[in-house]
Amino acid sequence: MLIAKPLANEKIIMAHNINFMDEAGLYVSFSVKLLSRLGAVLINGFQSVIDIDTKMKTDHYRARGLDHARAGRAIHAIPLLEHVLMQRPHDFEAGLQLGVCMIKIGRQQEGIRLLEEANREDAANPNTVKVLGLAYAQAGEHERALPLLATALTSFPESFILLYRMGVCHDHQCRPADAVNCFERALGHRPRATKVMRALGYALEKLGERDRALTYFKQADEIESGGASE
């Protein structure tokens, strides 16, 4: 698994950025497990304590990091998952979630590298394809995003975000008819999504359908003025 290797001084910063409660939970878990294995540790010597500590620390950081990542707490997840990947470079799920978190906080190129590596390791995984396609789209790499988004859509045909991002990519690639199709399908899932209405209106204008475009712009204005947009 490709990871962004921290510099020596960055390792110290990373440790300080780990949430206090995550660290506290580690020491509680370690104490309980150490006491339960004390007899075996005494027999095998001090090195066993180090082995248990390293494995437990990585296991704990992995569990907490994945929890934070899935809950959208990217800032808390990143230092934990970075530690995991330093110990276990081929941890697929940790690398995937770390890539997503990095993109969320603006470290797009680092995040994309991790997602590309995850996709190489498991190209048949629709979630990986979806996440990488969306990452390319968000980074403005529309040509690279489109085939991945199209592939992901076969597994997630009702996905609003896939349809919307595909529409945006088509629009940037000067394919307004394809963009209109995607935006209309996206609106079918979220009929009050004003950002889609406006995007659809702009795509229709490019096709010369000014009247239809104005209808969507007007609908978006009315919804937003009522404070009920999606």
Architecture category of domain 1-122 in CATH: Alpha Horseshoe (1.25)
Position 23 scores a pLDDT of: 58
Average pLDDT, the chain: 84
Confidence of residue 8 (pLDDT cuts 50, 70, 90): very low
Position 71 scores a pLDDT of: 94
Give CATH superfamily name and number for 139-225: Tetratricopeptide repeat domain (1.25.40.10)
The Cα angle at residue 41 between residues 40 and 44, in degrees rounded to 5: 85
Position 12 scores a pLDDT of: 35
Q: Which two tokens stand for residue 196?
A: 């889609």
**Least confident range of 71-75, 96-100, 139-143, 224-228:** 224-228
- pTM listed for this prediction: 0.73
Q: Which two tokens stand for residue 8?
A: 């020596």
Question: Domain ranges in the chain?
Answer: 1-122, 139-225
Tell me the per-residue pLDDT of 176-226, one tens digit each, with 9 for 90 and over.
999 999 999 999 999 999 999 999 999 999 999 999 999 999 999 999 987
Position 55 scores a pLDDT of: 84
Position 78 scores a pLDDT of: 95
Tell me the per-residue pLDDT of 171-180, one tens digit each, with 9 for 90 and over.
999 999 999 9
Confidence of residue 5 (pLDDT cuts 50, 70, 90): very low
Position 149 scores a pLDDT of: 97
Tell me the per-residue pLDDT of 83-107, one tens digit each, with 9 for 90 and over.
999 999 999 999 999 999 999 999 9
Fold agreement (1-122, 139-225): yes
The percentage of the chain sitting over the pLDDT mark of 90, rounded to a whole number, equals 70
What's the farthest any 2 CA atoms get from each other in the chain? 83
pLDDT value at 15 more than 50: no
pLDDT value at 1 more than 80: no
Q: Which residues contact 59 (CB under 8 A, 6 or more apart)?
A: none
pLDDT value at 27 more than 60: no
One DSSP character per residue, the chain reads: ----PPPHHHHHHHHHHS-HHHHHHHHHHHHHHHHHTHHHHHHH-HHHHHHHHHHHHHHHHHHHHHHHHHTT-HHHHHHHHHHHHHH-TT-HHHHHHHHHHHHHTT-HHHHHHHHHHHHHH-TT-HHHHHHHHHHHHHTT-HHHHHHHHHHHHHH-TT-HHHHHHHHHHHHHTT-HHHHHHHHHHHHHH-TT-HHHHHHHHHHHHHTT-HHHHHHHHHHHHHHHHTT---
Tell me the per-residue pLDDT of 34-71, one tens digit each, with 9 for 90 and over.
555 555 545 455 555 555 578 888 999 999 999 999 99
Confidence of residue 22 (pLDDT cuts 50, 70, 90): low
Position 127 scores a pLDDT of: 92
